[in-house]
Amino acid sequence: MDGSSKEEEDSTFTNISLADDIDLSARVDAVKEENLKLKSENQVLGQYIENLMSASSVFQTTDTKSKRK
């Protein structure tokens, strides 16, 4: 293997590694975005469930000692 062939191989490897890094970075960004979306949806659902529970007599306690703090 001569010097230029080795340089071409190194350059090709570097380009492939760079492309892989860019792809991984894009995937990480997509996962972060999905995570934020799911967190937001979970907050909405949590609030909805709290509202349903507070509106329902089934979840209301009559004994003040057993109320959660």
Predicted local confidence at residue 57, as pLDDT? 83
Predicted local confidence at residue 2, as pLDDT? 62
Let me know: does 67 contact 61? Beta carbons within 8 Å: yes
Amino acid type, 7:
E
Query: Which whole-number Å values give the CA distances from 1 to 6, 9, 15, in the listed order?
Result: 7, 10, 20
Query: Which whole-number Å values give the CA distances from 56 to 21, 22, 43, 53, in the listed order?
Result: 52, 51, 20, 5
- 16-48 residue pLDDT tens: 999 999 999 999 999 999 999 999 999 999 999
Q: Residue 1 above 80 pLDDT?
A: no
Task: Tell me the average pLDDT across 61-66.
Answer: 62
